[in-house]
Amino acid sequence: MYRLAEVKDLDEIMIIVHHTVNEMKDSYNPQWDEHYPLREDFLKDIRERTLYILEDREEIKGFIVLNQETPEEYDELDWHKRDYLVIHRLAVNPADRQGGYATQLIQFAEQSAVDQHITVIRSDTSSMNIEMNKIFQRLDYQLKGQINFHGKPFKFNCYEKLLNK
C-alpha cells in the first residue's frame, strides 16, 4: 500500500537512510552520506505532502519523494519541454532488497504522473550507483546526460521517461 508519509514515520525512514548510507559506503558509492539526506529534508517533504511510503503489514518497505523541483544543474541538459514530475530520495529497506520494491516505487511515480496528466518523469542518481542506474535503464528511462551535483567529486546520471507518448 502506498500512502503519504507522516511525522510518525520519520524514525523508521531514518533507519532505512542510515542502513542505505552504510551500504553505499560499502559499495564505494558516496551518493548519500551523513550530510544528505537529513531528517529535516524528510520533514520538509512531509509538510509539502511529497513523501510517499510503500508499506506492507505496517512496515515501511521503501519511500520516494515526488515533486516538480529541479536543481539548477538540470538546466544544463536538454530535457523534453513538457510538464514533469521528479523522483527524489528513493530508498528501499535493505532487509527488503531484491523484492522489486524500487521498481514498484518508480512505477507508482509513473502512475502518479499519469493521474495528474503529466507525461514526463525525471530523476538522477550517482554514476556510481550501479543498481539504480540498472533499474532506470530496465524501465526505459533515457540517459539525458551527466551533471556535477552537491559538490560531489563524481557525476550524476540524469534520466527522463516519456509516459503515454
Question: The dihedral of CA 41, 46, 50, 52: what is its sign?
Answer: positive
Let me know the angle formed at the C-alpha of 56 by 51 and 61, rounded to the nearest 5 degrees: 55
CA-to-CA distance for 38 and 53, rounded, in angstroms? 17
- The per-residue pLDDT string of the chain (165 residues; one tens digit each, 9 = 90 and over) reads 999 999 999 999 999 999 999 999 998 888 899 899 999 999 999 999 999 999 998 899 999 999 999 999 999 999 999 999 999 999 999 888 888 999 999 999 999 999 999 999 999 999 999 999 999 999 999 999 999 987 788 899 999 999 975
Domain boundaries, the chain: 2-162
Secondary structure (DSSP) of 63-113: EEEEES---GGGGGS---SS-EEEEEEEEE-GGGTTSSHHHHHHHHHHHHH
CA-to-CA distance for 19 and 95, rounded, in angstroms? 9
Class of domain 2-162: alpha beta
**Pair 152, 126: CB distance under 8 Å:** yes
- Residue 133 cell numbers, joined: 542506474
